Structure formats: structure tokens, C-alpha cells
Amino acid sequence: MNPARRVSLTRAVLLLAVVALGVWLLCAELAVVGGGEGRVSTDPAIRATVAGRRTHAQAAVRTPAAWRTREWRRAVDRHAAVLRRHLADGMLAASSHAVCLGGVHEAMALRELGVVGAVAGDGHRLPFPDSSVDFVLAGRALDNSKRQADLASEAARVMKPDGHLVVLTSGASDAYSLRSLQALLPSLRLLRSRVINGADGSTLQELVFRKHVDISTTSGSSSNGNNSAGNCTGRDHKLQIIGLAEPLIQEEPVKPWITLKRNIKNIRYLPALADIGFKRRYVYVDVGARSYGSSIGSWFRKQYPKQNHTFEVYAVEADPAFHADYASRKGVTLLPYAAWVRNETLTFEINDGPGKKGDSNARKPSGRGMGRIRHAAGAMKGVSSGEVRRIPAFDLAEWLKRTASEQDYVVMKMDVEGTEFDLIPRMIDSGAICLVDELFLECHYNRWQRCCPGERSPKYQNTYGECLELFTSLRNSGVLVHQWW
Ligand SMILES: *[C@@H]1O[C@H](CO)[C@@H](O)[C@H](O)[C@H]1NC(C)=O
Ligand SMILES: *[C@@H]1O[C@H](CO)[C@@H](O)[C@H](O)[C@H]1NC(C)=O
Ligand SMILES: *[C@@H]1O[C@H](CO)[C@@H](O)[C@H](O)[C@H]1NC(C)=O
Ligand SMILES: *[C@@H]1O[C@H](CO)[C@@H](O)[C@H](O)[C@H]1NC(C)=O
């Protein structure tokens, strides 16, 4: 090797050493904080330090190779380009206490823009007191989290009143999804949104929120799902969705056994009309569940479109004959009660005697009479020799309000043999109906019978018109209800 070459090689080695030292210093300086649990960060720098503040020694040892690459530089520049705007808007200042949930690229970009105290934070428990942070950049952290709701409330917690949150998301592109995200941030108000291009050429929403000054509005009061006027919150965006749903069948079907079954093919499910992300929990309530296979197993688990979310299932079924079926079902909670408008024990009679014509209590060979509370109550007045059953019943509306919030996604199927004419008004009056995102309601009326042309079913007194009224009033109040069979 000639001397000239050796000199240039030495120089190159020296230069490399200087660059390495520079990167080391930069990394060491950039505090990465967090107490993340439950979520594995994709950023190796964060993963290495989830336990807390990194030391210089750790930084030196764990500085990921990725930080020295051109991609890393590009990522920082890309974030800087997005963030520069917020600096210009005055949301951020050099002295701002800023936290980047997305990761170190964003924090580095902020520091390069002059926000010297910017740090990267990770996890669902940030080591900052309440109301202490001026600016939270969530980046794509919500999209990447399995616990979006917790992350959102943690971000809101650490923010100062009047502080700002910037979210980048591939969701929130329809009104329903945006509304769901807003429900996860009840103490924040959406200031503005715009569409930007993501790194991979995809489209992202950039949403800017500001925290309310009035702390009292942060206490989760909006989680009941309705305002004081009794209207469901977000009724307008729900009405938009209802406009896309299959129309209600206006004319009473002459052959209901055909028409109603055929209508199932026309059903437009909510997850086919909107993005159902940004919900805290996913809940399915089967009211009048009967056996596991009758609708939970055969329909909900197999056919309902879930956008990959895992649902908690509640089976409301009073008939003890079906209870054993649920003992071994994973993820299903059995509520062994009749759905009713208050907590009480209902006593009614099952008449096994030779079927008197028109006797609404006559037990069908297959259909067990359990759900027919309203008929049973009437039968109590008479004297009869049938078998008497005592059925524990519970207040469905009260239970739902205790069990679910507006931040949850709730699907309900209701098949209660006529009791819907009591339950639905009670759910509307109590506001519980606002918690139901999608309702599949079987409405029982004196339908035309297949067996006997020109004869109506004697089992139910309500008319098709009354059913239609029930469906129409539900849709008008913002509940996506489907006619079920
Ligand atoms: C919802 O409506 C019910 C009944 O009208 C009412 O009792 C309740 O206070 C309302 N919720 C809110 C948050 O106003
Ligand atoms: C409630 O809904 C009705 C329409 O059904 C509307 O006229 C009324 O203004 C709403 N009230 C509030 C407080 O939103
Ligand atoms: C559900 O997950 C699968 C596999 O992870 C994915 O291919 C599919 O696109 C996802 N579907 C939805 C609706 O997100
Ligand atoms: C009503 O019954 C349900 C189910 O047993 C129970 O969880 C709830 O606490 C009861 N509510 C009242 C007000 O007693």
C-alpha cells in the first residue's frame, strides 16, 4: 500500500470515528421515557428502554445500527416536514414540553426544529404528572397499539389544558370512525384535520386536538351515550349510516316466512359501512339466546363481519334447559335471566294441557314458552292447573348502562317473543339504546301463517304496523336496527 493511500485510509477511519461519536452523543442525549406494558414497540431503541430513562452507557451499548442509516435520516426529515407546520401555527415553541408517542424519529425531528426538551415516550403509563405536557405527538402510535383507548386516555391525562395532541392515522376517514376516536378523547376537542401522505404512499389523516380548559368536562360525563335532551350523542353521524342501510319493509309481507328470511341477504352490516376501529371493547349481547348454536355460534361467530376484533359475548337466556350448553363455552358470559324492564322474579304458568285454541301459553313441542313474559303476566290473573315457573328477570337497560359505555362497540340481537314492546321503550327512555351500535331485532306480530291461508298467528297481539313503528322510531333516534327473522 503506498503512503498516500495509507494516509487517506487513516483519514477515513478517523472520520468514521467522529461520525460514530456524534451519533452516540445524539442518542445518549435523547431521553426515551416510558413505562410501557402490554405493547411491544417496533422501535428497537424504545424496546431497549421501556423500563425507564436510559443512561449514557446503555445508549452507547444499545444504539441500534438503524439510527445511522439513510432511512433513519429520511424518517426524521419527513416528521420534521409535518411538524414544522405546528411550530408555525404557534402550537409548539422552543420551550414546549413535548412528548412523542410515535417514537424517537419524531422526537429527534422536534429537537432539530428547536424544541429542545422533546422526548419520546412509550407505553400506557407515561412518567409525567397530570396536565404537565404542552404537546403530544401521537404519530401512528394509536394505529399500532392494541390498547388504543388506554393510550388515548393516557395522552389526554398528561396534557395541559389548552395543550395540543396531533394524531396521524389511517383510520378516522369516515364520520363514524372519527366520532369513535373523539369518544376516546372526551376531554379534547378536534380543532382541524387534513389528509397527508404517509411514508408508504398511503393516505393518512392528521388530526389536531386541543384539551378543554374546563377540567370538569374531563370526568367522562359524555360516556353515557346521550345528552340531557335524551338524544343519543353523535346521532347525526349515525343517521348518515342509517341512510346507507337496507330500507325497512314497509308493506306487511303476505308470506313472511319467505320475505323475512330473504331480507337477510339485503342486510347491510355496520362494519361493511364504516370503520369500527377506535373502540375500547367489542361486545355482543344476545338477548333470548336459546342454545349456543341457535345464533351465537351459527351466525354471530361465523358470519357477523368483525374487522378482526375480538368480541366479548353475553348470552341472556332465562330457560334453564339451555344453561348447561354455556358452561364450556369460552368467551361467553351467560346471564341466566329473562330480559325485562326491572329486576324482579316473574311467575308464570306453562300450560301443558291439550292445547286450547288461542291459548297463548300453550307450550309448543319445540318452542319453549319462557320468553313470553307479557302473556304470562296476563295468565297470572286466571286460575289454571298448569305448571308454575318462577323466572328471575333483570333490568336489561340498567345492566347495559353499567356494562358498556359510548367508547365500546355494542351489537345486540333481540328475540324475546313480544317482550320487545316493553324492552325497547324502556331502553329508549333510559338512554341505554344509545349504547347499542347495531341492533338485530325480531319483532313479533300476528303474522300470516303458512299452515293456514288467511289466518293470522294467534300467538301475538301486535300488528305489523306496530312493528314498523318500533323500527322507524329506533332508526329516527339514530339506532341502526335491522329487521331480523
Ligand atoms: C340520558 O337520558 C336519560 C333519560 O332521559 C337521563 O336520565 C340521563 O341523565 C341522560 N344522560 C345524560 C348524560 O344527560
Ligand atoms: C334531539 O333530536 C330532535 C330530533 O328528533 C331535535 O329536534 C332536537 O333538536 C335534538 N335535541 C338536542 C338537544 O340535540
Ligand atoms: C384481518 O387480518 C388478516 C390477517 O392478519 C388481514 O389479512 C385482513 O386484511 C384483516 N381484515 C381486516 C378487515 O382488517
Ligand atoms: C339487577 O340484577 C342484576 C343481575 O342479577 C344485578 O347485577 C344488578 O345489580 C341488579 N340491579 C339492582 C338495581 O338491583
Q: Looking at the DSSP assignment, which residues form a beta bridge with residue 483? A: 441
Do 133 and 157 share a domain, yes or no?
Answer: yes
Q: If you measure from the C-alpha of residue 387 to the centroid of ligand 4, how many angstroms do you get, rounded to a whole number?
A: 27
Q: Which of 219, 245, 277 is the last residue of a domain?
A: 219
Q: Looking at the DSSP assignment, which residues form a beta bridge with residue 393? A: 338, 344
DSSP assignment of 287-312? ET--STIIIIIIIIHHHS--TTPPPE
Do 168 and 274 share a domain, yes or no?
Answer: no
Residues 6+ apart with CB under 8 A from 20: 68
Q: Which of 219, 246, 275 is the last residue of a domain?
A: 219
Q: Is residue 473 part of a domain?
A: yes
Q: Is residue 230 part of a domain?
A: no
pLDDT for the residue 169: 94
Q: What CATH number does residue 67 fall under?
A: 3.40.50.150
Do 323 and 397 share a domain, yes or no?
Answer: yes
Q: If you measure from the C-alpha of residue 467 to the centroid of ligand 3, how many angstroms do you get, rounded to a whole number?
A: 37
Q: Is residue 120 part of a domain?
A: yes
For the stretch 17-49, pLDDT in tens is: 444 444 444 443 444 554 433 333 333 333 333
Q: Is residue 228 part of a domain?
A: no
Q: Which of 167, 185, 219 is the last residue of a domain?
A: 219
Q: Which residue's CA is the closest to the ligand 2 atom numbered 2?
A: 231
Domain count within the chain: 2
pLDDT for the residue 75: 86
| Cα(191)–Cα(264) distance, integer angstroms | 41
| Cα(279)–Cα(181) distance, integer angstroms | 7
Do 137 and 240 share a domain, yes or no?
Answer: no
DSSP assignment of 45-88? HHHTTTTSPPPHHHHHHH--GGGGSHHHHHHHHHHHHHHHHHHH
Question: Where in the sequence is the domain holding 132, given as residue range(s)?
Answer: 3-219
Indicate if the alpha-carbon torsion angle 468, 473, 475, 480 is positive or negative. Answer: negative
Do 84 and 178 share a domain, yes or no?
Answer: yes
- Select from 394, 401, 430 the residue to mutate for testing ligand 4; criterion: most ligand atoms less than 8 Å from CB: 394
Q: Is residue 310 part of a domain?
A: yes
Do 183 and 110 share a domain, yes or no?
Answer: yes
Do 289 and 185 share a domain, yes or no?
Answer: no
Q: Which atom in ligand 2 lies closest to the alpha carbon of residue 228?
A: 13
Q: Which ligand is nearest to the CA of 236?
A: 2
In degrees, rounded to 5, the angle at the alpha carbon of residue 287 between the alpha carbons of residues 284 and 289 is: 90
Q: pTM score, two decimals?
A: 0.80
Q: Which residue's CA is the closest to the ligand 4 atom numbered 11?
A: 343
Q: Is residue 144 part of a domain?
A: yes
Do 114 and 26 share a domain, yes or no?
Answer: yes
Q: Which ligand is nearest to the CA of 477?
A: 2
Do 403 and 302 share a domain, yes or no?
Answer: yes
Asked whether 345 and 391 are in contact (CB, 8 A), the reply is: yes
For the stretch 242-279, pLDDT in tens is: 999 999 999 999 998 888 888 889 999 999 999 999 99
Q: If you measure from the C-alpha of residue 227 to the centroid of ligand 2, how many angstroms do you get, rounded to a whole number?
A: 10
Do 190 and 283 share a domain, yes or no?
Answer: no
Q: Which residue's CA is the closest to the ligand 3 atom numbered 8?
A: 308
pLDDT for the residue 264: 87
Q: Is residue 225 part of a domain?
A: no
- How is residue 232 annotated by DSSP? B
Residues with CB under 6 A from ligand 2: 227, 229, 231
* Best CA proximity match to 339, nearest among 290, 387, 300: 290
pLDDT for the residue 104: 84
Asked whether 296 and 332 are in contact (CB, 8 A), the reply is: yes
Q: If you measure from the C-alpha of residue 235 to the centroid of ligand 2, how many angstroms do you get, rounded to a whole number?
A: 9
**What is the three-class DSSP state of 393?**
strand
Q: Which ligand is nearest to the CA of 224?
A: 1
Asked whether 423 and 340 are in contact (CB, 8 A), the reply is: yes
Q: How would you write the pLDDT of the chain (485 residues) with one tens digit per residue? A: 555 555 455 555 444 444 444 444 444 344 455 443 333 333 333 333 332 333 333 333 345 565 668 888 888 898 898 888 888 888 888 899 999 997 788 899 999 999 988 998 877 788 899 999 999 999 889 999 989 999 999 999 999 999 999 999 999 888 899 999 999 999 999 999 999 988 788 899 999 999 988 755 444 444 566 665 667 877 888 898 999 999 999 999 999 888 888 888 999 999 999 999 999 999 999 999 999 999 999 999 999 999 999 999 999 999 999 999 999 899 999 999 999 999 999 886 655 444 333 334 333 333 344 444 444 444 444 445 567 788 999 999 999 999 999 999 999 999 998 999 999 999 999 999 999 999 999 999 999 999 988 899 998 999 999 999 999 999 988 899 999 97
Q: Which ligand is nearest to the CA of 230?
A: 1
Residues 6+ apart with CB under 8 A from 54: 28, 31, 32, 48, 62
Do 95 and 243 share a domain, yes or no?
Answer: no
**What is the three-class DSSP state of 316?**
strand
Q: Is residue 226 part of a domain?
A: no
| Cα(70)–Cα(242) distance, integer angstroms | 49
Do 286 and 257 share a domain, yes or no?
Answer: yes
Pocket lining: 349 vs ligand 4, CB cutoff 6 Å: no
pLDDT for the residue 209: 97
DSSP assignment of 107-164? HHHHHHTT-TT-EEEESSS-SS-TT-EEEEEEETHHHH-S-HHHHHHHHHHHEEEEEE
Backbone angles phi, psi at 368, to 5 degrees: -85, 140
Q: If you measure from the C-alpha of residue 229 to the centroid of ligand 1, how many angstroms do you get, rounded to a whole number?
A: 7
Pocket lining: 325 vs ligand 4, CB cutoff 6 Å: no
